[in-house]
Amino acid sequence: MSFRPESSSAKDMRDRLIIGLDVPSVEEARALVDRIGDAGTFYKIGYQLAYAGGFELARELIDQGKKVFLDLKLHDIGNTVEAGVRSVARLGATLLTVHAYPQTMRAAVAGKAGSSLKILAVTVLTSYDDSDLVEAGYAPVPAAELVARRAAQARDIGVDGIVCAAPEAERVRAILGSDRLIVTPGIRPAGAEAGDQKRVVTPADAIRAGATHLVVARPIVKAADPRAAAEAILAEITQAA
Ligand code: C5P
């Protein structure tokens, strides 16, 4: 079931590509954003850049009219999560990740109240398999089952969407219904290097599986021509949508 935004203008299509600013410094990130130009409307800032001046950069990008996804994967006591989310909402970010624990998700939903911030839940980190969950103290449960259970909890709590690997998108879409966001990393245009991503999917396949947004970093960040790489992925998204 592929997702169709109510209006699918060219601008909305552009917003479906989230470019991961996986670079070590704000200076490098600024240079990259400049090179990508209007092919990039939505940027993800993760741990590496957030803790190296990335919040200031987020403000700059928002002031330039770009959208920002803060991939901070928050998880703490409810009071702390709620206050943190309120600060992120004030910053003007569009998306923020939290871990899909019910207390944390409820606190995040409370913290974003009255703002346009959308909360994405991370169900089970894709680096975890069944044995990692047992090692972490969980009663034996297949990781795929835990993904499904947490996706249903996220839906019931009123979280705006889920981050999941593209191969899980179809199953997660069936749980969430048609109106929530599904954001998928691990995307590789045909012929690109997989890097350390084990299960990669093309942009078109991820869109067809129900993803609303794709997160792409290395295929754009490391490209000789990042703008052309972003444009090629956008063309693939537009064709599949
Ligand atoms: O370079 P690449 O396109 O693989 O980067 C994907 C981005 O998505 C990175 O910022 C990475 O941290 C993030 N991510 C991921 N896999 C997940 C969750 C997030 O690759 N399961």
**In this structure, is the dihedral angle defined by the CA atoms of residues 142, 144, 145 and 147, taken in order, positive or negative?**
positive
Query: How far is 197 from 205, CA to CA, in rounded Å?
Result: 16
pLDDT computed for residue 118 by the predictor: 98
- Output DSSP code: residue 24: S
Q: Which ligand 1 atom is nearest residue 219's CA?
A: 3
Q: Which ligand 1 atom is nearest residue 195's CA?
A: 4
Nearest CA to ligand 1 atom 12: 46
In short, whether 185's Cβ falls inside 6 Å of ligand 1 is yes
Nearest CA to ligand 1 atom 21: 126
pLDDT computed for residue 5 by the predictor: 52
Looking up residue 163, the CATH number of its domain turns out to be: 3.20.20.70
Counting Cα atoms < 13 Å in the Cβ hemisphere of 105 gives 21
Q: Which ligand 1 atom is nearest residue 222's CA?
A: 1
In short, whether 49's Cβ falls inside 6 Å of ligand 1 is no
pLDDT computed for residue 7 by the predictor: 47
In short, whether 203's Cβ falls inside 6 Å of ligand 1 is no
Query: How far is 73 from 235, CA to CA, in rounded Å?
Result: 30
For 66-123, the pLDDT digits (tens) are: 999 999 999 999 999 999 999 999 999 999 999 999 999 999 999 999 999 999 999 9
Is the predicted pLDDT of residue 28 greater than 80, yes or no?
yes
Residue 3 covered by a domain: no
Residue 203 covered by a domain: yes
In short, whether 210's Cβ falls inside 6 Å of ligand 1 is no
In short, whether 20's Cβ falls inside 6 Å of ligand 1 is yes
Residue 1 covered by a domain: no
Average confidence (pLDDT) over 46-66: 97
Per-residue pLDDT band at 1 (split at 50, 70, 90): low
45 neighbors 68 (Cβ within 8 angstroms): yes
Q: Which ligand 1 atom is nearest residue 20's CA?
A: 10
| pTM listed for this prediction | 0.94
In short, whether 46's Cβ falls inside 6 Å of ligand 1 is yes
Per-residue pLDDT band at 3 (split at 50, 70, 90): low
222 neighbors 210 (Cβ within 8 angstroms): no
Residue 5 covered by a domain: no
For 186-204, the pLDDT digits (tens) are: 999 977 777 877 777 999 9
Q: What total number of domains does the chain contain? A: 1
d(CA 196, ligand 1 centre) in Å: 10
In short, whether 23's Cβ falls inside 6 Å of ligand 1 is no
Is the predicted pLDDT of residue 174 greater than 80, yes or no?
yes
For 222-235, the pLDDT digits (tens) are: 999 999 999 999 99
Q: Which of 73, 112, 118, 222 is catalytic?
A: 73
Per-residue pLDDT band at 56 (split at 50, 70, 90): very high
pLDDT computed for residue 192 by the predictor: 79
Tokens of 147: 């993904």
Residue 2 covered by a domain: no
Mean pLDDT of the chain: 94
The amino acid that residue 237 corresponds to is: I
Q: Quickly tell me which residue has 């702390």 as its tokens.
A: 80
Is the predicted pLDDT of residue 170 greater than 80, yes or no?
yes
Query: How far is 95 from 235, CA to CA, in rounded Å?
Result: 23
d(CA 185, ligand 1 centre) in Å: 5
Is the predicted pLDDT of residue 221 greater than 50, yes or no?
yes
d(CA 217, ligand 1 centre) in Å: 7
Range of the domain at 184: 10-240
Alpha-helix runs per DSSP H in 52-142 = 55-63, 78-91, 102-111, 130-135
Residue 51 covered by a domain: yes
What percent of the chain is predicted at pLDDT more than 70?
96
Residue 222: active-site member? no
Is the predicted pLDDT of residue 2 greater than 70, yes or no?
no
Residue 85 covered by a domain: yes
Of 23, 13, 85, 8, the residue nearest 54 (C-alpha): 23
Per-residue pLDDT band at 4 (split at 50, 70, 90): low
pLDDT computed for residue 35 by the predictor: 98
